[in-house]
Amino acid sequence: MAAKSDGAPVSLRNAIPPECPSRSDPRPPQRRPTEQRYTLSDCCWTLCALLVFFADGASDLWLAADYYLRKYYPQFVLTLVFVIVPSVVVQVLSFRWFAYDFSETVESGTAAAAVVAASGAAEQDISTKDSGERGAGRSAAAGVLPGPGTGGGARGCCRVFVWLFQALIHIFQLAQVWRYVHALYLGVQSRWHGDPERRHYYWRMMFESADISMLRLLESFLKSAPQLVLQLTIMIRANQVLPLQGLSASASLISLAWMISSYQKVLRDSRDDKLPMTYNAVIVQILWHLFTIGARTLAFALFASVFQLYFGIFIVAHWCIMTFWIIQGETDFCMSKWEEIIYNMMVGIVYIFCWFSVREGRTCCRMLIYSLSVFVENVALTTFWYLYRSTGERQSTSEFYAVAMVCVVASSYALGTFFMFVYYCLLHPDGAVSGWGYIVEKEVPVEALASPASSLPPDLVRMCYRKMWKVEGITGRERSGAVISQRQKVLLGEGASANPHQVVDNRDKPSTCMIIYGS
């Protein structure tokens, strides 16, 4: 753990003294290491994610070309649609995020000095302790920001070039590739530089990774999940498996399991109030989702092979119910109400196939309800297929084949549930109990909450909460100078002001910091 004197950012969570009483957990609170570095394992993980991305897309396109050459035109059209449409949707969303980030970066140069000055003024009003170290940290953080008013013509040309370059990247459907390469570049730069540049590049890499993980997660469930169901249905109806069909289905399933686990890891690693997830835990989580999603999609394919119309009605009904459930949870992810609704609709698609935590708090009850619902649906869909598999124009399947399919669905879901319990009972970063949504409540002195934005440079404070925690009550250019996030609201308590660099004195009331461990 780095000392304050070396200028390293010290998070509020790590600033909680160990002797703080815990009314809900007798164990001492776990602490996140203050120093975080980009490792070779992180680089290999990003490269593997890029490989999974290429394997998934290339196998689908190869299979579509094979269908066309075999003159299977309906299969060709459906396979190609599930490749192109999700990719276009994700490119639009990615460009929207780029436009927001880039506009904020342009404004950040003129606001950097104001942020540092406001931070300094607030700290002087509260306490003069460690003023030298804090001043050095602010100066270092401000040093990585672009200076205002210098080289206006050249900067304008550079901005035009960046806009043109990003437009071409997104037109050619390469936004994910570019973001992966950019994350690798930022990670390598964090290794080559010393403090404070190392911290600057590291946190930029973390939130770039969070962006690409969210984009890839949405793309996987908009493209890979329907593609997997489609190919499994074609194989079941034809009673044969072509090599390219098996390759495409396997790549889609691995992509789904990989991306949801990768997103959970990146989200935890990029948050200061969450303990990081080990790669052993990620591997177990991949196995958990691999088997549960495999059972889910196979049950879908079996039912769809007999009841195409009823399967469509079932999917739409399930999606509507899940979307309504998510909206009732009042998620807070996007920058506007309409974008929030669209995001909830996309997460509703994820909920068709697997569980995905979208808000803080206790997750045990919600996960139990969802798991029981999915289990009942899988049993019902498989049972209907087993009973009516010989109806219609389809050739009757043998009893052995039918029983084997039912056993595959049941055993796959059982294995997925087993790995889920292994993850939550043995490998969850917050421990076996807290991993199920256990809430730990700790008393924290007000002095520890003096500077909620001190753990990150000012430019990253603006950037990192743009999508993961929505900015409320601050509009226009004010966003460049003051940002308050949902996590900061939790840390500050009810008496927090709208300015993250100004703290209301609540010495008459105990300040309680609620650290929530979700999935």
Half-sphere exposure at residue 225, Cβ-oriented, CA atoms within 13 angstroms: 32
> What number of H helices and E strands is found in the chain?
15, 2
Report the alpha-carbon distance of residue 282 to residue 271 in Å, rounded: 17
Report the alpha-carbon distance of residue 42 to residue 58 in Å, rounded: 24
Triad 55, 58, 63: Cα angle to 5°: 120
User: What's the pTM value of the predicted model, to 2 decimals?
Assistant: 0.71
Report the alpha-carbon distance of residue 167 to residue 161 in Å, rounded: 10
- Closest-CA residue to 53 (of 258, 355, 263): 258
Report the alpha-carbon distance of residue 213 to residue 218 in Å, rounded: 9
CB-based burial, 108-135: b 16+ in 10 Å, e otherwise: bbbbbeebbebbeebbeeeeeeeeebbe
The domain of 188 spans 40-490
Query: How long, in residues, is the chain?
Result: 519
19 occurs within a structural domain: no
15 occurs within a structural domain: no
Q: Using an 8 Å Cβ cutoff, are 390 and 396 in contact?
A: yes
340 occurs within a structural domain: yes
500 occurs within a structural domain: no
Q: Residue written as tokens 């509009």?
A: 475
Q: Domain tally for the chain? A: 1
378 occurs within a structural domain: yes
Report the alpha-carbon distance of residue 444 to residue 462 in Å, rounded: 25
Supply the angle between the helices 73-126 and 458-468 in degrees, to the nearest 10: 140
Q: What is the pLDDT along the chain (519 residues), one digit of tens a residue?
A: 333 333 333 333 333 333 444 444 444 445 555 567 888 999 999 999 999 999 999 999 999 999 999 999 999 999 999 999 999 999 998 998 899 888 876 665 544 444 444 444 444 443 433 434 334 433 433 344 444 444 567 777 888 999 999 999 999 999 999 999 999 999 999 988 888 888 889 989 988 998 999 899 989 999 999 999 999 999 999 888 999 999 999 999 999 999 999 998 988 887 777 788 999 999 999 999 999 999 999 999 999 999 999 999 999 999 999 999 888 877 776 667 787 888 888 889 999 999 877 766 667 788 888 999 999 999 999 999 999 987 654 556 788 889 999 999 999 999 999 999 999 899 988 776 544 444 333 333 433 333 333 344 434 333 443 443 333 333 333 333 333 333 333 333 333 333 333 333 333 333 333 222 334
Q: Which two tokens stand for residue 87?
A: 């990719």
Report the alpha-carbon distance of residue 356 to residue 430 in Å, rounded: 18
14 occurs within a structural domain: no
Q: Residue written as tokens 């601050």?
A: 474
Triad 415, 417, 418: Cα angle to 5°: 60
11 occurs within a structural domain: no
DSSP state of 4: G
513 occurs within a structural domain: no
